Amino acid sequence: MSDIRTLGEFIVEKQNDFSHASGELSSLLGSIKLAAKIVNREINKAGLVDITGSVGCENVQGEEQQKLDLYANDKFKAALEARDQVCGVASEEEDEAVAFNKELNRNSKYVVLMDPLDGSSNIDVNVSVGTIFSIYRRVSPVGTPAVQEDFLQPGNRQVAAGYIIYGSSTMLVYTTGNGVHGFTYDPSLGVFCLSHENMCIPKDGRIYSINEGNYIRFPEGVKKYIKYCQENVPEDDRPYTSRYIGSLVADFHRNLLKGGIYMYPSTATHPSGKLRLLYECNPMALLIEQAGGIASDGKNRILDIKPTELHERVPFFVGSTNMVNKVEEFIKEFPSTH
Ligand code: P6P
């Protein structure tokens, strides 16, 4: 028991690593930890109680909202609003940014952007899903946060980012800019225990994750890369493996541990791809760079992209450095028209 290091202890232990360490970011991460436990409990009951399935309406993306999407959104918002570190949130499930206007929060230091339950359409078939979060210091001095100044910051301004994966076990993985650390939830104790300190992605890998059902609509360079993976069978190593769960957090987490690349390119029907820059790509990009990998839109570093709107989408290539560099070479060599 004595060698268990809980998430709470680890955050406090490392808080002096934070720039402007003040304990507030530690407390903010504590809010996320609490909400993760609450959402985890409901997900584990999914199928037993009437909390799966859709609510019969769509979010701003035109995607059918699941009951658990909204449940998770409400729980994370409530947990963040209950303490005095966050002045507002932006969420995949909210059309507009939400300002916290109580006296407690109005002038608080941080904003949070999140996908409260990514991949939620997989819940009904018992596939892993996840929460993704991204934390910035506000730029506007006080009062209601400004969308342009406070929420539309480039990903290289994040002070922390992470995800919770609700899978065979529930894990919280985060970075504050000093490495990536993973914590596994022990429901019998009600704590997240340090299980993966300083997670690093292998520079190369053999796993590629992409929805090949969209193959005919991919840019030429992406098609060439897929063919390269299928036909380039190294004599001294394992062949490539296609692994696609359809849940970003699950695919990302596996590739982080084993090496690999996740790709969601632009397609003829989705010229900007499907994944959202602010609350999917930026946090995952910060994590992967902190773990020694890279993330791009096929040409540009994700973290350097200047956002123009809350829900904007970008093509996304993330994972082992050598694999992302390789697909970028093909994209450069075979530029697409669309
Ligand atoms: P497709 C889930 O909706 C998500 O945003 C990611 O979690 C996942 O990787 C992707 O979309 C799946 O999209 O078009 O392959 O079903």
| Residue 206: both structure tokens together | 């053999």
Per residue in 114-167, pLDDT tens?
A: 999 999 888 888 899 999 999 999 999 999 999 999 999 999 999 999 999 999
Cβ 215 under 6 angstroms from ligand 1: no
Average pLDDT over residues 183-203: 96
Is the confidence at residue 49, as pLDDT, over 90? no
- pLDDT at position 153: 98
Average pLDDT over residues 191-218: 96
Is the confidence at residue 290, as pLDDT, over 90? yes
**Residue scoring higher pLDDT (195 or 101):** 195
- pLDDT band, residue 19 (cuts 50/70/90): low
- pLDDT at position 54: 63
Mean of the per-residue pLDDT values of the chain:
92
Q: What does the alpha-carbon distance between residue 150 and residue 141 come to, in Å, rounded to a whole number?
A: 10
Q: Which of 59, 7, 6 is nearest to 279 (CA)?
A: 59
Q: Which of 130, 147, 121, 131 is nearest to 80 (CA)?
A: 131
- pLDDT at position 166: 96
Positive or negative: CA dihedral 264, 274, 92, 124: negative
- pLDDT at position 124: 84
Cα of 203 to ligand 1 centre, how many Å?
25
Is the confidence at residue 88, as pLDDT, over 90? yes
Is the confidence at residue 255, as pLDDT, over 90? yes
- pLDDT band, residue 55 (cuts 50/70/90): low
- pLDDT band, residue 64 (cuts 50/70/90): low
Atom 1 of ligand 1 has which residue's CA nearest to it?
246
Average pLDDT over residues 62-82: 88
Atom 15 of ligand 1 has which residue's CA nearest to it?
211
Q: At what angle do helices 248-258 and 282-290 cross, to 10 degrees?
A: 10
Which amino acid would we find at residue 257? L
Pairing relationship of beta strands 110-118 and 86-91 according to DSSP bridges = parallel
- pLDDT band, residue 185 (cuts 50/70/90): very high
Out of 11-15, 96-100, 277-281, least confident range: 11-15
Cα of 248 to ligand 1 centre, how many Å?
6
| Residue 154: both structure tokens together | 């480039």
- pLDDT at position 194: 97
- pLDDT band, residue 16 (cuts 50/70/90): confident
Is the confidence at residue 51, as pLDDT, over 70? no
Q: What does the alpha-carbon distance between residue 98 and residue 77 come to, in Å, rounded to a whole number?
A: 9
Cα of 266 to ligand 1 centre, how many Å?
13
Q: Which of 313, 310, 282 is nearest to 295 (CA)?
A: 282
Cβ 24 under 6 angstroms from ligand 1: no
Could you tell me which residues are annotated as the binding site for Mg(2+)?
A: 92, 115, 117-118, 280
Atom 9 of ligand 1 has which residue's CA nearest to it?
248
Atom 12 of ligand 1 has which residue's CA nearest to it?
246
Pairing relationship of beta strands 207-209 and 261-264 according to DSSP bridges = parallel
Is the confidence at residue 186, as pLDDT, over 90? yes
Strands (E), 201-274: 207-209, 241-242, 261-264
Cβ 248 under 6 angstroms from ligand 1: yes
- pLDDT at position 20: 57
Closest ligand 1 atom, residue 262 Cα = 9
Q: What pTM value is reported for the model?
A: 0.94
Per residue in 206-222, pLDDT tens?
A: 999 999 999 999 999 99
Neighbours of 170 (CB within 10 A): 23
| Residue 69: both structure tokens together | 């999407």
Is the confidence at residue 65, as pLDDT, over 70? no
Closest ligand 1 atom, residue 129 Cα = 7
Residues contacting residue 148 through CB under 8 Å, at least 6 positions apart: none
Average pLDDT over residues 229-239: 83
Q: What does the alpha-carbon distance between residue 106 and residue 323 come to, in Å, rounded to a whole number?
A: 44
- pLDDT at position 46: 66
Strands (E), 260-315: 261-264, 294-296
Q: Which of 200, 310, 211 is nearest to 270 (CA)?
A: 211
Pocket test for ligand 1, best of 66, 128, 164, 211 (most atoms within 8 A of CB): 211
Q: How much of the chain exceeds pLDDT 70, in percent?
A: 91
Token pair 């829900």 is at which residue? 311
Closest ligand 1 atom, residue 280 Cα = 5
What dihedral angle (degrees, nearest 10) is formed by the CA atoms of 317, 320, 322, 326?
-20
- pLDDT at position 56: 65
Cβ 255 under 6 angstroms from ligand 1: no
